[in-house]
Amino acid sequence: MRPLFPEINVNDTYYVPVTDGHVLYVEESGNRQGIPVVYCHGGPGGGSDAIYRRFYDPEVYRIILFDQRGCGRSTPHCAADINALWHNTTSDLVQDMEVIRKTLDIKNWVVAGGSWGSTLALMYAIEFPERVIGLILRGIFLARQQDVEWLFADKSGASQLFPEHYQEFKAGHEFDSVQELLESYYEQLTGDNDLVQLSAAKQFCAWEDKIAKLKPAVKQEELSGRDTIAGALLNCHYFTNNSFIYECEILSEISRVQHIPGYIIHGRYDAVCKAEAAFTLDNAWENGRLEIVPESGHSCTEPGITDALIRASAEMSEFIKLNKL
């Protein structure tokens, strides 16, 4: 199996003003003259991470990471300023990516993303198909109500696979629907009590952390309080608002990306995002190539997923060179 590429330093960092007072952290690494690839992180609210640079050959790719509105090193940050949730929608994030592309003087690029990042990558490609020369997607989340229900409902989906972890996740919340559960969390996350806010954020994020890998780490990775709050709050902000897209929008608009070549990589035992979503996307997208990775869950750091992503990025670069895209 192919391992991650070695760690690399950032070539340049930028703070890019977009609309409504938001300023986005953007970084570049790899080959300045290489094939541009932009990576959409997950969450919403997950923030970019140095490990995302390592899925692409730095001698081949010009690697661009950015933090979406309200999280990471972008400002305002929703852990410090609730106003970071204003003008923070999927459409805003899509338009932000186009601002980044123009700011970096990129004609077109490969768009990649995992989990929520796959949603954003697809929504960008649907809006700006002429700017996308390829898609590399992992852990497909189509942002349908059934996808949200799978992750958060108490009588179906992931809760049935990990009842002990779900019991911890729902503790302290009374609800009759996923909407009510997320609204209950949102109330705690936006309240005046800082201790309650941080405790709720940790409880929320622990749920996905514990089910993301087929073989969970002995010790869960500890996020900062700031990052934990952003992850929980932006999840609730988006998922209580139907991700700010209409139901089945990606599948309804998939005709706009039929010509774009892409990879759909999904762990066989992904408990966070349903394998059905990847299968459904593959059936709808003529130029998408599905790979269901055995013995793998949701995380991009699992060996099988890492191998599939690096193979995909290598094959994509060869395709682009061969077709002079």
Joined together, the tokens standing for residue 211 give: 């089910």
Distance CA 100, CA 65 (A): 10
Distance CA 135, CA 282 (A): 13
The one-letter code for the residue type at 235 is: N
DSSP states along 80-141: T-GGGGTT-SHHHHHHHHHHHHHHTT-S-EEEEEETHHHHHHHHHHHH-GGGEEEEEEES--
E strands in the chain: 12-17, 23-30, 35-40, 61-66, 109-114, 132-138, 262-267, 288-293
Distance CA 137, CA 94 (A): 16
Of residues 153, 145, 156, 149, the one with CA closest to residue 175: 153
- By annotation, the residues acting in catalysis are 115, 270, 298
Distance CA 109, CA 36 (A): 5
Cα atoms in the Cβ-side hemisphere of radius 13 Å centred on 268: 6
Residues in CB range of 18: below 8 A, 6 or more apart? 24, 69, 92, 95, 96, 99
E strands in 143-246: none
